[in-house]
Amino acid sequence: MAELNSSLDYTAQDIQVLEGMEAVRLRPGMYIGSTDSRGLHHLIYEIVDNAVDEAMAGFCTKVSVRILPDGSVKVEDDGRGIPVDVHPATGKTAVETVMTTLHAGGKFGGKGYQVSGGLHGVGASVVNALSSSLKVEVKRDGFLHEQNFERGAAIDSLESVKKATGTGTTTTFMPDEKIFGTAEYDFGVLSQRFKEMAYLNRGLQISLISEWHKEQGYSPWKQNYKFDGGIVSFVSQLNHNKEVLQSDPFYVQKTIDNTMVEASFQYNGGYSEQIYSFANCINTADGGTHLTGFRTALTRALNGFARKQKFLKEDQSNFSGEDVREGIAAVLSVKLIDPQFEGQTKGKLGNAEVQGQVDSVVAEALIYYLEENPNEARRIIDKSLTAQKAREAARKARDMVLRKNAMDGGSLPGKLADCSEKDPSLSELYLVEGESAGGSAKGGRERKFQAILPLKGKILNVEKARLDKMLGHEEIRVIITAVGANLGDDLNLEKLRYHKIIIMTDADVDGSHIRTLLLTFFYRNMRQLIEEGYLYIAQPPLYKIQAGREVHYAYLENDKDSLLEKLEGKRGLSIQRYKGLGEMNPDQLWDTTMNPQTRSLLRVTAEDAEAADRVFTELMGEEVAPRKAFIQANAANVKNLDV
């Protein structure tokens, strides 16, 4: 890459102004996606992204994010500091220009940054516009400079407050309550984002301290991340507690045509694929050209090696992409000068040239790796060969399921009590544990929009089974047919028959196990269904408390205690602990668990995919030790265990 500027020649002239900042407060969703907690978090990300840009440019080693007790946020870095001289086009200082002008920054062809995670240069100005107050402190040229803003407008001028050593920028802002309501931060979501950034910038230290969470009794409320191993450490973390096929992850880093390509992967003994892709430290959840290039290189290199070594016979077909990606944990990171993302949320990279660049770098390094590590290469090839055979068996099993449905006239499972509503957006499917509970649910439901599918026993643990074995399991086939959207790479949400799929199990150990098995199945095979918000968990009551003719239901232990305090002294007080849904009559099940006016549903999300994958691996995977450690660590937290 071209030589980067030091703080001495990174000046106001490097800040280009494209247009004004109108309508940000009027339509904030256009700039930060939404005004819920995701939008609130996005404000923090925009400021942190600017600090990480300094790190990618080689000028920042530490970033500190602090959420103060009042909900304001303070982000501090030790980068070069925003330029403080006057911008020739605006007549204002560069600090004020950056903070009050949309599309102003050092990322539009100026010399300030070769690589940047910021796309439109809207970050700082949008955060300023959507904050009731914002303060910028810049250490630069031997002084500490300060300026204050309210709702996007400067309320004073940039002033040199005192002498100071070092360089850096500190931004403190209070999200505007008129736009976001009361601030509600999710520590887990924020810490996961900063953990990824630390992995992607080897040696960068990112700390998160939330006094806001601490005051509310949350734990943890502080984290510090620094990974000298970079994305290799990321891959090792993804494979934590898994049987690995390579002693050390594969790794390559190379710059080609001003694009830095960095990739690492390591195979494990599981059946799922985990590939995280990033462009300029932005998590590209929807993939893009860089991910296509990586997948193409992986398939091409492994097929070429297998052919050359005669592991694939002449009459044997090549590995498919699915075959070579089974059991892979991979991280792909590209850093480029002019990233083209789809949408302000930057979910997909669109630069056409990057596909070939990634393909070339990864394929060349992988071919060399396979030749230099014959034992590990053989294990990878054997894994792909087994996956190829299983894929063919799964195809036959899937065809058999489809043929059976066709012979039945495309009929739905016999035990499914379907609803009369044909609009999926108005329809609900309850997956109910057991025939007894299924009978109560069928009797209590609203037939117009609620369908009931009783499940017999515990379904297969798909964490330990390939697709062909999974499709041979009757209850899983019934679920797939009822849901109607297929699964895996063939998942088509347009064919989804219900937009609310609700898991309803007993409030005991067996019910929890069945719920976990179902969640594992959906997470591994229909993850997009979770990401789009179609999967829910019903919340049946734990207790029925009756005092005379008054009937109350308690959903939590605390609810029961509170009710008993209120009803203390009443005559004829009785408490019934529900151990199963089948103990409720249809009317009770409707009133407590199925009536949209009174029920409580939990929507299943997968925002923290890495943590979710780790939990499923620990609890449902082949290795016994992680499961034992989890039980030992959490046993003390279990109350009222039914055995």
Show which residues are catalytic. 433, 506, 508, 510
Q: Coil, strand, or helix at residue 467?
A: helix
Distance CA 474, CA 459 (A): 9
CB atoms within 10 A of CB 446: 14
Q: Which of 301, 328, 330, 358 is nearest to 232 (CA)?
A: 330
Task: Give the C-alpha separation, 291 to 330, whole Å.
Answer: 11
- Classified as helix, coil or strand, 612 is helix
Tokens, residue 569: 């002294």
Name 563's Cβ contacts closer than 8 Å, sequence gap at least 6. 545, 552, 554
Provide the total of helices (H) and of strands (E) in the chain, helices listed first: 21, 24
- Whether omega before 220 lies within 30 degrees of 0, making that bond cis, reads yes
Please give the angle made by the CA atoms of 176, 182 and 187, to the nearest 5 degrees.
100
**What does the chain come to in residues?**
643
How many other β-carbons are positioned within 10 Å of the β-carbon of residue 163?
A: 8
- Three-state SS for 90-159 is CCCEHHHHHHHCCCEECCCCCCCCCCCCCCCCCHHHHHHHCEEEEEEEEEECCEEEEEEEECCEECCCCE
Query: Cα 190–136–55 angle (5° rounding)?
Result: 55
Candidates 219, 194, 192; CA nearest to 207 is 194
Question: Is the C-alpha dihedral spanning 531, 534, 535, 539 positive or negative?
Answer: positive
Look at the alpha carbons of 24, 29, 31, 32 in this order and tell me if their dihedral is positive or negative.
positive
The answer to whether 311 touches 337, Cβ cutoff 8 Å, is: no
Q: Rounded to the nearest 5°, which phi and psi values hold at 43?
A: -60, -45
DSSP sequence for 303-330: HHHHHHTTSS-TTSPPPPHHHHHTTEEE
Cα dist from 271 to 390, 472, 501, 542, whole Å: 11, 16, 25, 37
- Judge whether 401 and 471 are in contact, CB under 8 Å: yes
Asked whether the CA dihedral 114, 117, 119, 122 is positive or negative, the reply is negative
Q: 258 to each of 21, 84, 264, 339, 593, how far by Cα in Å? A: 32, 29, 20, 12, 58
Residue 500 C-beta-side C-alpha neighbours within 13 Å? 21
